[in-house]
């Protein structure tokens, strides 16, 4: 059987496309792309000529089967999304799962991911974090999603489209409170890259006055851990131990 190559693409700056990514796209038999027009621009920039097949949210079931048959017949396929790592809030996850299920070799050519790029420069604790992707648009499932994060101590990472940013900031403020720290990482790796660090109340107020522009990753600080209740007799035992070491 052939191999499925999951290839990361730039999130803005074409200089981030690696030589290995260029080589992989040049050598596979065909490329499955989220939006073939977007990928064609990338291919043209790197002078790569390759047959393209669309693979996106609404055709991925049928297309997945077709790609699987071609892999089984020995062809190699590279799968890319419009920007960043395939499978991260993007198509690719199902194709990787389908190949795993059918014993088709899968490998990856890593590239930038907006979530990790934003976390890296946020200044928020990065040792443990949780990626929450896009909040759903449905009011109820959105509320449930945020309610489930009420006690989350890790840094939380969200993706959001610019036209929904205001509503999302308002919901984050309602869920986590005025004083919770938020970092808005905008237009990463692009000309107007910007990082805003503020409280949720400040972010909400700022974007009531200013139009959101470009692409954003939102990072919300985790809640401070609850102070540990000393267990029954715990304090007494601690004092004894401390005295023994004096």
Is 9 a binding residue for ligand SAM by CB under 6 A? The answer is no
Q: Is 216 in the site for ligand SAM (CB under 6 A)?
A: yes
User: Does position 84 bind ligand SAM by CB under 6 A?
Assistant: yes
Report the alpha-carbon distance of residue 134 to residue 142 in Å, rounded.
10
Residue 217 in contact with ligand SAM, rule: CB under 6 A: yes
Q: What share of the chain is helix, strand, coil (3-state, %, to 5)?
A: 40, 20, 40
Among 89, 106, 84, residue whose Cα is nearest residue 97: 106
Task: Identify the residue among 24, 39, 81, 122 touching ligand SAM (CB under 6 A).
Answer: 81
Contact 199, 182 (CB under 8 A): yes
Contacts of 29 (CB under 8 A, 6+ apart): 2, 51, 70, 75, 76, 77
Of 33 and 185, the one with the shorter C-beta distance to ligand SAM is 185
Which is nearest to 46 in space by CA: 77, 13, 76, 23?
23
Tell me which stretch binds ligand SAM (CB under 6 A): 20-28, 42-50, 80-88, 234-242: 80-88
Residue 153: other Cβ atoms inside 10 A: 14
Kindly indicate which of the ranges 23-31, 42-50, 111-119, 136-144 contains the residues binding ligand SAM, using the contact rule CB under 6 A.
Answer: 111-119
Residue 240 contacts residue 212 (beta carbons within 8 Å): no
Which 160-199 residues touch ligand SAM, going by CB under 6 A? 160-161, 185-190
Report if residue 159 touches ligand SAM, rule: CB under 6 A. yes
Q: Which is nearer to ligand SAM, 45 or 237 (CB)?
A: 45
Q: Is 83 in the site for ligand SAM (CB under 6 A)?
A: yes
* Interface residue list for ligand SAM (CB under 6 A): 11-12, 81, 83-85, 88-90, 113-115, 159-161, 185-190, 215-217
């Amino acid at each position: 059987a052939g191999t499925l190559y999951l290839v990361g693409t730039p999130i803005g700056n074409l200089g981030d496309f690696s030589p290995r990514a260029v080589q992989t796209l040049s050598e596979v038999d065909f490329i499955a792309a989220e939006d073939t027009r977007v990928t064609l621009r990338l291919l043209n920039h790197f002078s790569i000529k390759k047959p393209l097949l669309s693979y996106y949210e609404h055709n991925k079931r049928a297309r997945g089967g077709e790609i699987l048959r071609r892999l089984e017949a020995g062809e190699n396929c590279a799968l890319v999304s419009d920007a960043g790592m395939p499978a991260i809030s993007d198509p690719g996850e199902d194709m990787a799962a389908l190949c795993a299920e059918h014993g088709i070799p899968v490998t990856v050519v890593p590239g930038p991911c907006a979530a990790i790029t934003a976390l890296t420069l946020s200044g928020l604790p990065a040792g443990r974090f949780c990626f929450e992707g896009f909040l759903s648009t449905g009011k109820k499932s959105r509320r449930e999603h945020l309610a489930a994060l009420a006690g989350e101590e890790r840094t939380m990472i969200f993706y959001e489209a610019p036209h929904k940013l205001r509503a999302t900031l308002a919901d984050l403020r309602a869920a986590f409170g005025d004083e919770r720290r938020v970092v808005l990482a905008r237009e990463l790796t692009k000309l107007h890259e910007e990082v805003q660090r503020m409280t949720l109340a400040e972010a909400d107020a700022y974007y009531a006055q200013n139009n959101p522009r470009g692409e954003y990753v939102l990072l919300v600080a985790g809640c401070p851990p609850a102070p540990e209740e000393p267990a029954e007799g715990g304090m007494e035992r601690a004092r004894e131990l401390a005295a023994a070491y004096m």
